Protein backbone atom coordinates (compact mmCIF):
# COMPACT_ATOMS: atom_id res chain seq x y z
CA UNK A 1 0.00 0.00 0.00
CA UNK A 2 1.50 3.37 -1.01
CA UNK A 3 1.11 6.62 0.89
CA UNK A 4 0.30 9.69 -1.16
CA UNK A 5 2.67 12.62 -0.66
CA UNK A 6 1.13 15.63 1.05
CA UNK A 7 0.91 18.79 -1.03
CA UNK A 8 3.78 20.20 1.02
CA UNK A 9 5.97 17.17 0.36
CA UNK A 10 5.22 17.38 -3.35
CA UNK A 11 6.11 21.04 -3.35
CA UNK A 12 9.38 20.40 -1.52
CA UNK A 13 10.44 17.96 -4.24
CA UNK A 14 9.43 20.30 -7.05
CA UNK A 15 11.78 22.47 -9.04
CA UNK A 16 10.74 26.08 -9.31
CA UNK A 17 11.33 28.37 -12.24
CA UNK A 18 10.85 32.09 -12.57
CA UNK A 19 9.02 32.57 -15.89
CA UNK A 20 10.45 34.88 -18.53
CA UNK A 21 7.69 37.39 -18.02
CA UNK A 22 8.74 37.92 -14.39
CA UNK A 23 11.73 40.13 -13.61
CA UNK A 24 13.14 41.12 -10.27
CA UNK A 25 15.86 43.15 -8.70
CA UNK A 26 17.14 43.28 -5.14
CA UNK A 27 17.53 46.56 -3.31
CA UNK A 28 18.73 47.01 0.27
CA UNK A 29 15.21 47.45 1.60
CA UNK A 30 13.32 44.98 -0.58
CA UNK A 31 13.25 42.94 -3.75
CA UNK A 32 11.00 44.39 -6.42
CA UNK A 33 9.30 41.89 -8.70
CA UNK A 34 7.50 42.91 -11.89
CA UNK A 35 5.10 40.63 -13.70
CA UNK A 36 5.29 41.88 -17.28
CA UNK A 37 2.06 40.12 -18.18
CA UNK A 38 -0.04 41.83 -15.55
CA UNK A 39 2.00 45.01 -15.22
CA UNK A 40 1.89 44.59 -11.44
CA UNK A 41 4.78 45.23 -9.11
CA UNK A 42 5.32 43.15 -5.96
CA UNK A 43 7.65 43.77 -3.04
CA UNK A 44 9.44 41.08 -1.08
CA UNK A 45 11.22 41.76 2.20
CA UNK A 46 14.95 41.00 2.17
CA UNK A 47 14.51 37.45 3.51
CA UNK A 48 11.82 36.56 0.96
CA UNK A 49 13.90 38.20 -1.75
CA UNK A 50 16.88 36.05 -0.85
CA UNK A 51 14.64 32.96 -0.82
CA UNK A 52 13.38 33.79 -4.31
CA UNK A 53 16.92 34.10 -5.61
CA UNK A 54 17.85 30.75 -4.05
CA UNK A 55 14.67 29.09 -5.38
CA UNK A 56 15.49 30.20 -8.91
CA UNK A 57 18.85 28.43 -8.79
CA UNK A 58 18.03 25.33 -6.71
CA UNK A 59 17.19 21.89 -8.03
CA UNK A 60 14.24 21.63 -5.66
CA UNK A 61 12.37 23.64 -3.05
CA UNK A 62 13.89 21.37 -0.41
CA UNK A 63 17.40 22.21 -1.61
CA UNK A 64 16.54 25.90 -1.58
CA UNK A 65 15.27 25.57 1.98
CA UNK A 66 18.53 23.90 3.00
CA UNK A 67 20.52 26.82 1.62
CA UNK A 68 18.25 29.33 3.35
CA UNK A 69 18.47 27.39 6.63
CA UNK A 70 22.24 27.79 6.45
CA UNK A 71 22.01 31.48 5.60
CA UNK A 72 19.75 32.29 8.52
CA UNK A 73 20.86 29.60 10.97
CA UNK A 74 17.37 28.17 11.26
CA UNK A 75 16.19 24.57 11.48
CA UNK A 76 15.47 22.87 8.16
CA UNK A 77 11.93 22.15 9.32
CA UNK A 78 11.09 25.77 9.99
CA UNK A 79 12.74 26.95 6.79
CA UNK A 80 10.97 24.33 4.70
CA UNK A 81 7.65 25.54 6.05
CA UNK A 82 8.55 29.17 5.35
CA UNK A 83 9.76 28.26 1.88
CA UNK A 84 6.53 26.39 1.08
CA UNK A 85 4.45 29.32 2.30
CA UNK A 86 6.49 31.68 0.14
CA UNK A 87 6.17 29.37 -2.88
CA UNK A 88 2.41 29.18 -2.49
CA UNK A 89 2.15 32.96 -2.27
CA UNK A 90 4.35 33.42 -5.34
CA UNK A 91 2.49 30.71 -7.27
CA UNK A 92 -0.80 32.42 -6.49
CA UNK A 93 0.50 35.65 -7.97
CA UNK A 94 1.97 33.99 -11.06
CA UNK A 95 5.50 34.99 -10.10
CA UNK A 96 6.91 31.46 -10.17
CA UNK A 97 5.98 28.21 -11.86
CA UNK A 98 6.61 24.60 -11.04
CA UNK A 99 9.03 23.25 -13.59
CA UNK A 100 7.20 20.41 -15.25
CA UNK A 101 10.35 18.86 -16.66
CA UNK A 102 10.62 16.76 -13.50
CA UNK A 103 13.63 15.43 -11.62
CA UNK A 104 15.36 12.06 -11.69
CA UNK B 1 9.14 80.12 -47.40
CA UNK B 2 11.74 78.28 -45.30
CA UNK B 3 9.80 79.27 -42.19
CA UNK B 4 6.59 77.85 -43.63
CA UNK B 5 8.36 74.60 -44.52
CA UNK B 6 9.80 74.34 -41.02
CA UNK B 7 6.38 74.91 -39.46
CA UNK B 8 4.87 72.30 -41.73
CA UNK B 9 7.52 69.80 -40.72
CA UNK B 10 6.92 70.54 -37.05
CA UNK B 11 3.20 70.08 -37.57
CA UNK B 12 3.75 66.76 -39.31
CA UNK B 13 5.95 65.55 -36.50
CA UNK B 14 3.37 66.61 -33.90
CA UNK B 15 0.69 64.70 -35.82
CA UNK B 16 2.92 61.64 -35.97
CA UNK B 17 3.52 61.87 -32.23
CA UNK B 18 -0.17 62.16 -31.44
CA UNK B 19 -1.03 59.19 -33.67
CA UNK B 20 1.72 57.15 -32.03
CA UNK B 21 0.37 58.10 -28.61
CA UNK B 22 -3.14 56.96 -29.47
CA UNK B 23 -1.81 53.69 -30.84
CA UNK B 24 0.32 53.05 -27.75
CA UNK B 25 -2.59 53.73 -25.40
CA UNK B 26 -4.85 51.35 -27.35
CA UNK B 27 -2.26 48.61 -27.27
CA UNK B 28 -1.56 49.07 -23.55
CA UNK B 29 -5.22 48.45 -22.80
CA UNK B 30 -5.25 45.17 -24.67
CA UNK B 31 -1.96 43.32 -24.27
CA UNK B 32 0.95 43.03 -21.81
CA UNK B 33 3.79 45.53 -22.07
CA UNK B 34 6.28 43.12 -23.67
CA UNK B 35 3.76 42.42 -26.44
CA UNK B 36 3.07 46.14 -26.82
CA UNK B 37 6.78 46.71 -27.41
CA UNK B 38 6.91 43.90 -30.01
CA UNK B 39 3.91 45.26 -31.84
CA UNK B 40 5.14 48.84 -31.85
CA UNK B 41 8.49 47.70 -33.21
CA UNK B 42 6.92 45.62 -35.98
CA UNK B 43 7.20 47.08 -39.46
CA UNK B 44 10.24 49.11 -38.49
CA UNK B 45 12.64 50.40 -41.08
CA UNK B 46 15.85 48.45 -41.53
CA UNK B 47 18.26 49.42 -38.82
CA UNK B 48 20.72 52.03 -39.90
CA UNK B 49 24.36 51.14 -40.21
CA UNK B 50 26.52 52.84 -37.62
CA UNK B 51 25.23 56.38 -37.70
CA UNK B 52 26.97 58.99 -35.57
CA UNK B 53 23.91 61.23 -35.79
CA UNK B 54 21.39 58.62 -34.68
CA UNK B 55 21.76 59.47 -31.00
CA UNK B 56 21.40 63.19 -31.65
CA UNK B 57 18.31 62.60 -33.76
CA UNK B 58 16.88 60.25 -31.14
CA UNK B 59 17.30 62.91 -28.47
CA UNK B 60 15.80 65.56 -30.71
CA UNK B 61 12.77 63.36 -31.28
CA UNK B 62 12.64 62.65 -27.55
CA UNK B 63 12.43 66.37 -26.81
CA UNK B 64 9.69 66.74 -29.42
CA UNK B 65 7.73 63.87 -27.87
CA UNK B 66 7.94 65.38 -24.39
CA UNK B 67 6.99 68.85 -25.67
CA UNK B 68 4.01 67.58 -27.68
CA UNK B 69 2.63 65.16 -25.12
CA UNK B 70 2.81 67.76 -22.35
CA UNK B 71 0.01 69.55 -24.17
CA UNK B 72 -2.27 66.51 -24.30
CA UNK B 73 -4.79 65.42 -21.70
CA UNK B 74 -4.64 61.85 -20.41
CA UNK B 75 -1.73 59.80 -19.16
CA UNK B 76 1.36 61.18 -20.86
CA UNK B 77 3.86 60.07 -18.26
CA UNK B 78 7.10 58.21 -18.78
CA UNK B 79 5.74 54.92 -20.17
CA UNK B 80 3.49 56.64 -22.69
CA UNK B 81 6.29 58.93 -23.83
CA UNK B 82 8.67 56.01 -24.12
CA UNK B 83 6.29 53.97 -26.25
CA UNK B 84 5.66 56.92 -28.55
CA UNK B 85 9.35 57.58 -28.99
CA UNK B 86 10.00 53.89 -29.62
CA UNK B 87 7.62 54.01 -32.56
CA UNK B 88 9.22 57.12 -34.03
CA UNK B 89 12.70 55.67 -33.72
CA UNK B 90 11.68 52.30 -35.15
CA UNK B 91 10.22 53.99 -38.21
CA UNK B 92 13.51 55.77 -38.75
CA UNK B 93 15.62 52.65 -38.35
CA UNK B 94 17.07 53.82 -35.03
CA UNK B 95 17.34 51.06 -32.43
CA UNK B 96 15.54 51.70 -29.15
CA UNK B 97 15.28 49.80 -25.88
CA UNK B 98 12.51 50.41 -23.39
CA UNK B 99 14.05 50.39 -19.92
CA UNK B 100 11.98 50.08 -16.76
CA UNK B 101 13.54 50.99 -13.45
CA UNK B 102 12.28 51.14 -9.89
CA UNK B 103 13.07 52.82 -6.64
CA UNK B 104 11.53 51.07 -3.62
CA UNK B 105 12.22 53.76 -1.05
CA UNK B 106 11.46 56.18 0.43
CA UNK B 107 8.24 55.72 -1.60
CA UNK B 108 7.96 53.11 -4.30
CA UNK B 109 8.28 54.58 -7.78
CA UNK B 110 8.72 53.06 -11.21
CA UNK B 111 10.08 54.89 -14.23
CA UNK B 112 10.41 54.10 -17.92
CA UNK B 113 12.73 55.58 -20.49
CA UNK B 114 14.24 54.85 -23.88
CA UNK B 115 17.88 54.12 -24.60
CA UNK B 116 19.68 53.97 -27.91
CA UNK B 117 22.86 51.88 -27.81
CA UNK B 118 22.93 52.15 -24.04
CA UNK B 119 22.54 55.93 -24.01
CA UNK B 120 19.37 57.44 -22.55
CA UNK B 121 17.35 59.48 -25.02
CA UNK B 122 14.61 60.21 -22.51
CA UNK B 123 15.43 61.14 -18.94
CA UNK B 124 16.39 58.08 -16.86
CA UNK B 125 15.30 59.96 -13.76
CA UNK B 126 17.50 61.36 -11.03
CA UNK B 127 19.88 58.41 -10.91
CA UNK B 128 18.00 56.67 -8.09
CA UNK B 129 16.14 54.16 -10.26
CA UNK B 130 17.61 50.67 -10.41
CA UNK B 131 17.25 49.04 -13.80
CA UNK B 132 14.70 46.24 -13.66
CA UNK B 133 14.26 45.19 -17.27
CA UNK B 134 15.17 46.25 -20.79
CA UNK B 135 12.78 45.32 -23.57
Q: What percent of chain A has pLDDT over 70?
A: 91
Mean pLDDT of A17-36: 95
Q: What is the pTM of this model?
A: 0.87
**Per-residue model confidence (pLDDT) at position A46:** 94
B90-102 burial: b if 16+ Cβ within 10 Å, else e: bebebebbbbbbb
Chain centroid to CA A98: how far?
Answer: 10
**Range B20-43 average pLDDT:** 92
Task: Please indicate if any CB of chain A lies within 8 Å of the CB of B110.
Answer: yes
A25: closest chain B residue by CA: B132
The mean pLDDT of chain B is 91
Per-residue confidence (pLDDT) for residue A104, from 0 to 100: 34
Q: What is the pLDDT of residue A103?
A: 40
Calculate the alpha carbon distances from A95 to A28, B88, B102 in Å: 21, 33, 18
Residues of A in contact with B108 (CB under 8 A): 32, 41, 43
Q: Which of residues 27-46 of B touch A (CB under 8 A)?
A: 32-34
Q: Show residues of chain B in contact with A19, CB under 8 Å.
A: none
Q: ipTM for the complex?
A: 0.84
CA-closest candidate to residue B98, choices B31, B46, B41, B50:
B41
Is residue B33 over pLDDT 60?
A: yes
Q: Which of B134, B21, B109, B113 is nearest to B73 (CA)?
A: B21
> Given pLDDT bands bounded at 50, 70 and 90, which one contains residue A29?
very high
**What is each CA distance from B41 to B45, B90, B100, in whole angstroms?**
9, 6, 17
For B21-30, write each residue's pLDDT tens digit: 999 999 999 9
Residues in chain A: 104
Residue B73 main-chain phi, psi, to 5 deg: -75, 175
Burial per residue of A12-43, b for 16 or more beta-carbon CB atoms within 10 angstroms, e otherwise: bebbbebeebbbbbbeeebbbbbbbbeeebbe
Which stretch of A5-9, A62-66, A69-73, B66-70 has the lowest confidence by average pLDDT? A5-9
Neighbours of B88 (CB within 10 A): 21
Whether the pLDDT of residue B124 is over 70: the answer is: yes
What are the chain A neighbours of B33 within 8 Å (beta carbons)?
Answer: 36, 39
Residue A101 is predicted with a pLDDT of 54
pLDDT of residue A58: 95
Per-residue pLDDT tens digits for B60-93: 999 999 999 999 988 889 999 999 999 999 999 9
According to the model, what pLDDT value does residue B44 have?
75
* CB A94, CB A38: distance < 8 Å: yes
Cα B70 from Cα B47, distance rounded (Å): 29
**What confidence score (pLDDT) does residue B64 get?**
96
Mean pLDDT along residues A14-36: 95
**Contact yes or no for B132 and A32 at CB 8 A:** yes
Amino acid sequence: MTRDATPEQSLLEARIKVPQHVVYRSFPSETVVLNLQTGKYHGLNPVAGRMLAVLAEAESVRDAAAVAAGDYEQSSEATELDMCNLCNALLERGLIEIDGSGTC
Amino acid sequence: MAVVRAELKRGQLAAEIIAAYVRAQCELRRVPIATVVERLRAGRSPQRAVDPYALEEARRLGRAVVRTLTLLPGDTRCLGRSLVLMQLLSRRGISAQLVIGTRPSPDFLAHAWIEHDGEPVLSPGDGSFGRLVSL
